[in-house]
């Protein structure tokens, strides 16, 4: 069709991998144990930030406490970064990790 | 200290004189610490509030890492108005009285009090053993003061979350 505009984004060779990595739920959000944060506080933060119900928040808190860490979310890069940052805003020790790592 | 839930979902905190003095001191010192740039804080405290652990491994480097830390600092700077509000509503320095916390302030208050616990633990590099009540009884000087604050705020956070 003449005069029409194309709406299909052009993807340069090599960019496909970056895009699929960014949108795939391939990023883990990990919360690490620390001696200061209270168990009840960690449960509260999990419920507020991650939207967990109390039972799920308790399970993850106990995992952090007993095993030293817990994977609290597996998400797209953007969302994982958001959760990780929010958890740090509350003083929890959290990191991001590629799921394949 | 006694905490009860208000009709609106907030909290009414009944404080004895020394307790209100301690809370005031905590909030005032946090007010100052929040305004301090991350790079100018005690490195141990900065590590707990603005830690860079895991950023490099997650591919967050350079400008992105700076932006990440700035974001954490902005959140704490954003607590300024709440801190002023709480300081104004606390009983007069050293006096017993009631302290009312609005429902919408509860989350920020708990996070702020927790920040003070982290900060004091960072200043004295306190580990799990140090944080036991028995260790507090044996500690002396400034470390003992820090531990008293940490345990008092733990009690307060527990009560605020329980109600």
Kindly provide the ipTM of the predicted complex, given to two decimals.
0.94
Which of A37, A40, A88 is nearest residue B161 as measured by Cβ atoms?
A: A40
B151, with CB counted inside 10 A (0-12, 13-18, 19+), is middle
Q: What is the pLDDT of residues B66-87, one digit of tens each?
A: 999 999 999 999 999 999 999 9
Q: What is the pLDDT of residue B58?
A: 92
Is residue A11 predicted with pLDDT exceeding 90? no
How many Å lie between the alpha carbon of B131 and the closest alpha carbon of chain A?
A: 8
Segment A7-15 shows an average pLDDT of 54
CA atoms within 13 A on the CB side of B64: 9
Q: B49, A90: Cβ pair inside 8 Å?
A: no
| Total-model pTM | 0.89
From chain A, pick out residues whose CB is under 8 angstroms from the CB of B53.
93, 95
Q: What is the pLDDT of residues B85-142, one digit of tens each?
A: 999 999 998 899 999 999 999 999 999 999 999 999 999 999 888 988 888 888 899 9
Q: What is the pLDDT of residue A2?
A: 44
How many Å lie between the alpha carbon of B98 and the closest alpha carbon of chain A?
A: 24
CB pairs under 8 A between A and B: 62
Task: Say what angle helices B17-35 and B141-162 make with each other, to 10 degrees.
Answer: 100
């Amino acid at each position: 069709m003449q005069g029409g505009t194309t709406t299909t984004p052009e993807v340069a060779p090599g960019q496909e991998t970056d895009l699929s990595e960014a949108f795939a739920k391939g990023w883990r959000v990990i919360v690490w144990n620390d001696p200061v944060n209270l168990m009840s506080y960690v449960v509260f933060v999990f419920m507020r930030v991650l939207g967990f119900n109390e039972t799920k928040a308790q399970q993850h808190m106990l995992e952090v406490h007993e095993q030293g860490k817990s994977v609290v979310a597996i998400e797209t890069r953007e969302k994982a970064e958001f959760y990780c940052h929010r958890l740090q805003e509350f003083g929890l020790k959290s990191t991001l990790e590629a799921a394949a790592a | 200290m006694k905490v009860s839930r208000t009709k609106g979902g907030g909290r009414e905190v009944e404080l004895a004189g020394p307790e209100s003095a301690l809370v005031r001191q905590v909030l005032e010192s946090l007010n100052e610490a929040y305004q301090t740039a991350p790079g100018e804080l005690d490195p141990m405290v900065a590590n707990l509030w603005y830690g860079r652990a895991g950023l490099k491994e997650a591919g967050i480097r350079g400008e992105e890492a700076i932006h990440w830390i700035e974001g954490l600092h902005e959140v704490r700077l954003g607590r300024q108005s709440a801190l002023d509000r709480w300081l104004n509503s606390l009983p007069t320095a050293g006096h017993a009285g009631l302290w009312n916390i609005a429902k919408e302030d509860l989350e920020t208050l708990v996070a702020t009090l927790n920040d003070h616990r982290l900060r004091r633990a960072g200043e004295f590099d306190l580990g799990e053993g140090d944080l036991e009540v028995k260790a507090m009884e044996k500690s002396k000087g400034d470390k003992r003061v820090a531990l008293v604050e940490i345990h008092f705020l733990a009690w307060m956070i527990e009560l605020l979350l329980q109600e």
